[in-house]
A and B are shown apart, each in its own frame.
Chain A
Amino acid sequence: MAEPRVMDIKDQPGFRSIAIICLLVLYIPVLILMIFSFNSGSLVTHWEGVTLNWYGSAFLNEEFHSAAKNTLIISVTATIVSTICATLAAIGMTRVKPWRGLAAAFMIINLPLMVPEIITAVATLSFFALIAGTLGLNFGIGNLIFAHTVFCIPFAYMPIRARLEDMDLTLEYAAADLYATPWNAFKRITLPLLVPGIMSGAALAFIVSFDDFTITQLVAGPGQTTLPLYIWNQIRRPMTPEINAISTILLLVSILFVSVSFLIARRRAK
Chain B
Amino acid sequence: MGTRIESLPRSCQADRLMVTIKTGTHLPTRAGALNGVIVPEQPGKNAIEVRGVRKVFGTGENQVAALDTVSVSIRENEFFTLLGPSGCGKTTLLRLIAGFDFPTAGEILLHGQDIAPLPPYKRPVNTVFQSYALFPHMTVAQNIGFGLEMLGKPKAEIEARVAQMLKLVKMEALKARRTSQISGGQQQRVALARALAPQPKVLLLDEPLSALDYKLRKEMQIELKRLQHETGITFIFVTHDQEEALTMSDRIAVMSAGKILQVGTPRDIYDRPAERFVADFIGETNFLPGTVVSKQGGVATVKFASSATISAGYPEGFDPTGEVTLVVRPEHADLVADPAKGTIAGTLSNIVYFGTDTHYHVKLDGGDNFIVRHQNSRSSPVTYATGAKVGIQFEEDAARVLKD
Contacts and interface: CB of A to CB of B under 8 A. Distances in A.
Interface stretch (B105-113, B131-139, B395-403): B131-139
Contact of A174 (B119, B125, B135): B135
Give the interface size bracket for A toward B. Answer: 10 to 19
A173 B131 contact: no
B121 A180 contact: yes
Contact of B136 (A175, A188, A193): A193
Nearest to B147: A178
Nearest to B144: A178
A174 B150 contact: no
Contact of A178 (B119, B136, B146): B146
A150 B338 CA distance: 91
B342 to A, nearest CB: 55
A171 interface: yes
B137 A193 contact: yes
A192 B150 CA distance: 16
Contacts of B131: 168, 170
A176 B146 CA distance: 11
Given A168-B131, A174-B129, A184-B150, A179 B136 contact: no
B265 interface: no
A173 B121 contact: no
A244 B189 CA distance: 60
A180 B146 CA distance: 9
Contacts of B195: 177-178
Most B CB atoms within 10 A — which of A171, A174, A175, A181? A174
Interface in B110-153: 119-122, 125-127, 129, 131, 133-137, 146-147, 150-151
Given A168-B133, A170-B133, A181-B121, A176 B99 contact: yes
Contact of B151 (A168, A171, A173, A179): A179
Nearest to A195: B137
B100 A173 contact: yes
Contact of A189 (B100, B127, B129, B135): B135
B54 interface: no
B288 to A, nearest CB: 46
B235 to A, nearest CB: 15
Contacts of A179: 121-122, 147, 150-151, 198
B98 interface: yes
A172 B250 CA distance: 31
Given A171-B135, A173-B133, A178 B194 contact: yes
Interface in A188-226: 188-189, 192-193
A180 B150 contact: yes
A56 to B, nearest CB: 46
Interface string A123-149: 000000000000000000000000000
Interface of B: 98-100, 119-122, 125-127, 129, 131, 133-137, 146-147, 150-151, 194-195, 198
9 contacts: A168-B133, A170-B131, A173-B133, A174-B135, A176-B99, A176-B120, A178-B121, A178-B194, A184-B150
Smallest CB-CB A-B distances: 3 pairs: A178-B147, A174-B133, A179-B150
